[in-house]
Amino acid sequence: MTNPLLADFTSPFETAPFHLITNDHFLPAVKEAISLAKGDIEKIKSEALPTFEITIEALDRAGKKLNSISAIFFNLNSAETNDEIQKLAREISPLLTAYSNDILLDPVLFQRVAQVFSEKENLHLSPEQATLLEKTYKSFVRNGANLNGEEASKLREIDQELAQLSLKFGENVLAETNKYVYFIENEEDLEGIPEGIKEAASQIATEKGQPGKWAFTLDYPSYVPALTYAKNRELRKTLFMAYNTKSAKGDALDNQTTIKQILNLRHQRANLLGYASHADFVLEERMAKSPKAVLDFLESLLEKAKPKAEKEVQEVADFAKKLDGLGDLNRWDFGYYSELLKKEKYALDDELLRPYFKLENAIEGVFLTAGKLFGLTFHPNPEIPVYHPEVTAYEVKDRKGNHLAVFYADFFPRAGKRNGAWMTSYRGQKTIEGHDLRPHISIVCNFTKPTKSRPSLLTFNEVTTLFHEFGHALHGMLARGTYESLTGTSVFWDFVELPSQIFENWCYEKECLDLFAKHYETGEKIPEELIEKIKNAANYQQGYLTMRQISFGLLDMAYHSQDPSSIESIGDFEEQVMRKTDLLPKVPGTMASTSFSHIFQGGYSSGYYSYKWAEVLDADAFEMFLENGVFDTQTALSFEKNILSAGGTEHPSLLYKRFRGRDPKPESLLKRSGLI
């Protein structure tokens, strides 16, 4: 029987045939696809003379089947994994790493790429072609093409080890999250927790075989409301400690040794390639360009944010003392008293807003917003196979009614899904022989689940998360280019958050909220005074939140911009780095690093600063929408053309300037955040 992963996909729009795929198909399919991809490479090497078309373009298109299978497999390993898939990942990752090294360390292939690169001035390339040529050449050089045989072998070893360690890190965090459950027997211990959250906790307990009790897990929709609303201080502390000691307990799921191994291998790899540090290596291909530029940027923000953040924390401490006589404000207290203070100051809390943000309405809201801005429409298509019953697949059409993309939406926590929210793709956009091959895009979130009596009602923070990830999805769906490696989100890492972060801004605008924010029981539109309260509270504790992001950015840079071999204790190192941004007493035994998946499992190493960097861009860019109208057609068309559709076809600073007419002004962010 044919392996469905190796056959032509016959599902609608050539989507992944999830209904036909079993775990047994992956390993043989990957091996066969690697063999096919190697055939593509040999063909490129055998051509008479290297030209742009038969060398650079052909390389971009090599391994089509392998790319498709890898995307399916690793997306499942994040969103719907199990022990078997994780075991397969440990077998498949080394094969893919070896294949990648085989290409990038192939001297004959590099010689051909280098020859085309040396002739670039005479080739009359378009800006997109010139970008592809430069990116291809650099990817060889930055991945060891100039190394000698012994050095190249060392690089291969390092890459293999790093691939395995990254998987191990993620598996440990997921296992820690899945194994933890805290049961409560007495309802009085749940004082302050809203009815909807209590009902969800009761449902979790029943699912875990303890009916009649309430259960809390480390999934965001369970953990965050408990920390925010539970009057029971011991409950808050218990959950806080569980969450913030993930993979830091010295047991089989501990990540501290893994972190040290990852850091040292990254540093060795950078040195091998001629860079002073991993951060120097990474930032060469970023808008920021150097560790110094990143640190200067973070320090300048720190200078502006710290005085405001300290005042905000003191205000919460004073409020807690006045309200409950609390003498020592701890980390598990901050969210609780902060929320009560917000309610007092702005007459606003998430439970007041939740009824207006039924998940289905919020989804309709992002669709309508994308429709008004970019002319898109979304059509559920049950014929498109999905990997889990909770996933919905849509066909996306453009303003002329033509097929634009496939969009998968996956919203609720489950055991096989890692925490957080992300956008990904199963197929990128590209143009082959004049045919525009449209993308298959997915967003994965962990939102509040429906209960027996209530639908899924989102917090306002979950609504902004939905808009954020959907902004990334628009970047993928609206891609228009020739080469897959330059389209959609294939951009500089400190530019990739612009489309996602700018899209969050619409959540604060009445014109947008009026499209979808209506009471799930009465159908009443969100009242204008509530919208005003949302806007008034938008800057609530912006200093504190800015400091939190700066602290993670500084920790990331501290790990990656120096030789990490002297780090003996991850806990001590983290504490030392975080000292300048700490606003509350350090809690012994807790660590952010051991579950800092962004930098040890995802692609954000030396790049966590990019969230704040892109906030400068998004605040500045959204000012243009505010000046012209949040649904202004011409502004939206310009943003679509110059940012969303352009992908990585040219340098981001050029694309941004084309949209905005100038470079971004940092004052826009400081003003929006209330820091000036």
Q: Which residues are catalytic?
A: 469
Where on the phi/psi map is residue 499: left (φ > 0), alpha (ψ -120 to 50), or beta? alpha
User: Coil, strand, or helix at residue 500?
Assistant: helix
Sign of CA dihedral 508, 510, 514, 518: positive
d(CA 193, CA 143): 52
Query: CB within 8 A of 545, min separation 6: which ones?
Result: none
Query: CB within 8 A of 9, min separation 6: which ones?
Result: 15, 16, 17, 68
Alpha-carbon distances of 306 from 300, 467, 581, 582, rounded to whole Å: 10, 28, 8, 10
**222 with 204: CB under 8 angstroms?**
yes
d(CA 611, CA 626): 22
d(CA 458, CA 363): 11
Burial tier of 221 (Cβ tally within 10 Å: 0-12, 13-18, 19+): buried
d(CA 646, CA 478): 9
* 195-202: Cβ within 8 A, 24+ apart: 196/351, 196/354, 196/448, 196/451, 196/454, 196/457, 197/225, 197/226, 197/229, 199/451, 199/452, 199/453, 199/454, 200/448, 200/449, 200/451
Query: CB within 8 A of 445, min separation 6: which ones?
Result: 410, 411, 421, 462, 465, 466, 469
User: Coil, strand, or helix at residue 157?
Assistant: helix
**173 with 601: CB under 8 angstroms?**
yes
Side-chain-side CA neighbours of residue 52 (13 Å): 19
Instruction: Find residue 215's DSSP bridge partners.
Output: 183
d(CA 340, CA 63): 55
587: tokens are 């809690």
439: tokens are 């993308």
Alpha-carbon distances of 164 from 17, 158, 168, 170, 476, rounded to whole Å: 28, 10, 6, 10, 28
Alpha-carbon distances of 301 from 546, 548, 552, rounded to whole Å: 8, 11, 13
d(CA 603, CA 26): 24
State how beta strands 377-380 and 392-397 pair. antiparallel
